[in-house]
Amino acid sequence: MKMNGAKIFVESLKKEGVDTIFGYPGGVVLYIYDELYHSDIKHILVRHEQGAAHMADGYARVTGKVGVALVTSGPGATNTVTGLATAYMDSIPIVVFTGQVPTNLVGNDAFQEADIVGITRSCTKHNFLIKNVKDIAKTIKEAFYIARTGRPGPVVVDIPKDVTMDSAEFSYPDDIELPGYKPTYEGHTNQIKRSIDMILASKKPVIYTGGGIISSGASKELFAFAELLKAPVTNTLMGLGGFPGEHPLFLGMLGMHGTYAANMAVTHTDMLVAIGARFDDRVTGDISEFAPEAKIVHIDIDPTSISKNVEVDIPIVGNAKSILAEMNKLLKQDKRLKGFVRESEDWKTLINQWKESHPLTYKETGKLKPQFVIERIYELTKGNAIITTEVGQNQMWTAQFYKFGKPRTFVTSGGLGTMGYGFPAAIGAKVAMPEATVIDIAGDGSIQMNIQELATAVQYKVNVVVAILNNNYLGMVRQWQSLFYGKRYSHTDMSHKPDFVKLADAYGAKGYAVEKKNDVLPVLKEALKSKLPVLIDFRVEEEEDVYPMVPSGASLKKMLLA
Amino acid sequence: MRHTISLTVENKFGVLARVAGLFSGRGYNIESLSVAETLDPSVSKMTIVTNGEDKIIEQIIKQLNKLINTIKVVDLTVTGHVEREMVLIKVSASGENRTEVLRLVDIFRGKIVDVSPDTFVIELTGDEEKIGAVLNLLKPLGVKDIVRTGKVAMQRSIQHNSIDNK
């Protein structure tokens, strides 16, 4: 059937199973918006295009499906760049459609023109400029395929206005023609066997896992793997939720704000099994002193992640889920397993001593503690909520004190560290899963970076709860200034800000302010029952620091503990 | 160490920018780059000369492979290959120099492609060594300008008995 490009666009999205678009209209996408007017695809009108990209990202993280955003050319497109870079660093599958000026004006410095394909080349997995209406269906098929397969990531599709106006025959292709794109899923059999031999010959194993466990859906396989080996597990920030937070083999997060036990364990291990993690600098600290005594097996779907930062003994390229399943099968039949578990008992005793001697903790003072608030959120939601965070102290305390039990329940900007991410991501998550409890744990700085989305949340009755840990500072930066810059708090004072309760009210949301410990639970309970979005202004201890802390670039064993 | 990498890519707009961006974004250096269509017009071949430690080269090759439009990457440095580069050299040639230049061009099997009363433009093809040698010999006579194509390289079919006729 012949139809115009805008209609082909919408029909193609339907073929991809898209149920929700986060978007913002503008001149060059009007044909598309005209088509959406009749469509049953749900469209969420954001208040800033950055919000659209983060919402699509939040939607993708909690569902595993591809999140979709639609924006206009020029500023609409450039406003999504932070969202794209966020998704790129954390390997999140989103497709952002950007309008473009008509093809005859491309390159003419036309009104609202930006070379978004050029601008986003280094912060997308791939991007496309569609120059002919005949290519729309094929390109959309490829964009979704690239976004969700292999190591997932964001894809931009730039569509000039005239292309949406022109007509062509619509047929959605069944096959993909990408001669240069063939992700490796199956791990190399020999490498898998060799890694089993290496693991079973060790005495002090540690399993170190990241976002790859979440994106490949390998939590069950990881659980079985750890249980078979009876080996301790530590997660990166992106990996939280991949292994139950309350499990006795769980060490907590490792790295700059990791637990004492996790950082000591990776420092002293003789066998590090890294799965879907990339040895990021926030994880390793001083790379020359990271896991210095360890043999390393590294499982990752992206060959460029392997031996990029740390030389490994056995690399296995492929999908974490299928490789772990294969390893579990081999382990179950392996006669050496029993002896291995027995031999590593001393190691686990030592780890338990570390856990007991240095648990995550904080000092009680008269004031409300941010960690206390997070503990109450955990208590109340029993680890079943979807938690998003902003970036900084709020994010680190959440990673430490909320014991994530399930994958796809922790939504945070790990790699890029995007302040202003958590609130729109929470909206995207809640739109995807209306039944879930969704809470954004925020700071008073971060929440102001995308506060305009409160209008979006109110408009669509997206009743997320925003728990602002309000300490009147850009807390993490202040903490660095306190520790490393002689307490010179250069431009980190955030005490000048709106009254969050009044602000919530102005937007038509619900606002609370909490200063006393005893009010935390009752207010949280009320907030979780609200049909409206809720902002809670928790007035917490102003100069509370996040500990443990490994100073930037130092060895993991050089933790500051208080 | 210097590496010559042969890269087979889809012939689409923007691919060169992706390759160049991959190098510039990571601070890798491109010494030379040549690109043109292959027998199949939907496919292009690039020859990239770069340098770096083994670990950097390994990352470069992996990153090139990771590009969606990349079909194949071969590090020719570790396989048998032939490589050639073409250079145009504008050299001063007046009086006695003219015969000297002509003799050198003849020895190195070059061609004179432009003549003026006091200059020649020489076209010369060869590997790096040969071009280096010619330039060294011509410099004292007064090289005014050079333009090089950058290296093109091809894997050998038979590794052993092949003859590299420079």
Mean pLDDT across the stretch B5-21? 95
pLDDT of residue A562: 82
Mean pLDDT across the stretch A2-21? 98
Question: What does the DSSP assignment read for B76-144?
Answer: GGGS-EEEEEEEEEEEE--TTHHHHHHHHHHHTT-EEEEEETTEEEEEEEE-HHHHHHHHHHHHHHHEE
B14 to A180: CB separation less than 8 angstroms, yes or no: no
Q: Which of A129, A180, A307 sits opposite B10 (nearest CB)?
A: A180
How far, CA to CA in Å, does A331 sit from each of A317, A336, B33, B105? 19, 9, 49, 70
Catalytic residue of the set A55, A89, A271, A476? A476
B-proximal residues of A, 122-181, CB under 8 Å: 122, 125-126, 129, 146, 178-181
pLDDT of residue B159: 56
CA of B151, closest CA in chain A: separation in Å? 24
B69 to A180: CB separation less than 8 angstroms, yes or no: yes
d(CA A300, CA A305): 7
Residue A223 has pLDDT above 90, yes or no: yes
How far, CA to CA in Å, does A507 sit from each of A9, A409, A534, B69? 34, 27, 11, 47
A178 to B71: CB separation less than 8 angstroms, yes or no: no
pLDDT of residue B94: 87
B-proximal residues of A, 20-49, CB under 8 Å: none
Identify whether A353 is a catalytic site residue.
no
Q: Which of A121, A129, A181 sits opposite B21 (nearest CB)?
A: A121
- Percent of chain A past pLDDT 70, that is, above it, reads 100
- Cβ-based contacts under 8 A for chains A and B: 36
Residue B165 has pLDDT above 60, yes or no: no
For chain A, the average pLDDT equals 97
Q: Helix A393-401 vs helix A370-381: angle between axes, to the nearest 10 degrees? A: 50
- Per-residue pLDDT reduced to its tens digit, B101-121: 999 999 999 999 999 999 999
**Which of A305-314, A328-337, A483-492 is predicted least confidently?**
A305-314
CA of B58, closest CA in chain A: separation in Å? 9
Residue A64 has pLDDT above 80, yes or no: yes
pLDDT of residue A198: 98
Identify whether A476 is a catalytic site residue.
yes
Please tell me which residue of chain B has the smallest CA distance to A304.
Answer: B62
Mean pLDDT across the stretch A181-198? 96
Catalytic residue of the set A112, A191, A452, A459? A112
For chain B, the average pLDDT equals 92
Say what the ipTM of the complex is. 0.89
- Per-residue pLDDT reduced to its tens digit, A550-560: 999 999 999 99
pLDDT of residue B166: 46
Residue A387 has pLDDT above 70, yes or no: yes
Please tell me which residue of chain A has the smallest CA distance to B60.
Answer: A304
Residue A17 has pLDDT above 50, yes or no: yes
Residue B157 has pLDDT above 90, yes or no: no
B63 to A304: CB separation less than 8 angstroms, yes or no: yes
Burial grade of A516 (CB within 10 A; 0-12, 13-18, 19 or more): exposed
Q: Which of A118, A122, A304 sits opposite B59 (nearest CB)?
A: A304
pLDDT of residue A1: 87
pLDDT of residue B7: 97
B18 to A121: CB separation less than 8 angstroms, yes or no: yes
Residue A524 has pLDDT above 60, yes or no: yes
CA of B21, closest CA in chain A: separation in Å? 7
CA of B83, closest CA in chain A: separation in Å? 25
Residue A296 exposure: Cα atoms within 13 Å on the Cβ side: 24
Q: Which of B10, B14, B55 sits opposite A117 (nearest CB)?
A: B14
A125 to B25: CB separation less than 8 angstroms, yes or no: no
B10 to A146: CB separation less than 8 angstroms, yes or no: no
- Per-residue pLDDT reduced to its tens digit, A453-468: 999 999 999 999 999 9
- Per-residue pLDDT reduced to its tens digit, A119-155: 999 999 999 999 999 999 999 999 999 999 999 999 9
Q: Which of B10, B59, B65 sits opposite A308 (nearest CB)?
A: B59
Retrieve residue B45's tokens: 């071949």
- Percent of chain A past pLDDT 90, that is, above it, reads 99
CA of B62, closest CA in chain A: separation in Å? 5
The 3 state secondary structure assigned to A269-312 is CCEEEEECCCCCHHHHCCHHHCCCCCEEEEEECCHHHCCCCCCC
Nearest CA-CA partner of A64 in A216, A176, A199: A216
Residue B95 has pLDDT above 90, yes or no: no
A180 to B62: CB separation less than 8 angstroms, yes or no: no
d(CA A213, CA A236): 11
Which pLDDT band holds residue B164 (cuts at 50, 70, 90)? low
With contacts defined as CB-CB under 8 Å, which chain B residues touch A157? none
For A81, other C-beta atoms within 10 Å of its C-beta total: 20
Which pLDDT band holds residue B161 (cuts at 50, 70, 90)? low
Interface check A121 vs B, CB under 8 A: yes
**Which of A247-251, A439-443, B12-16 is predicted least confidently?**
B12-16
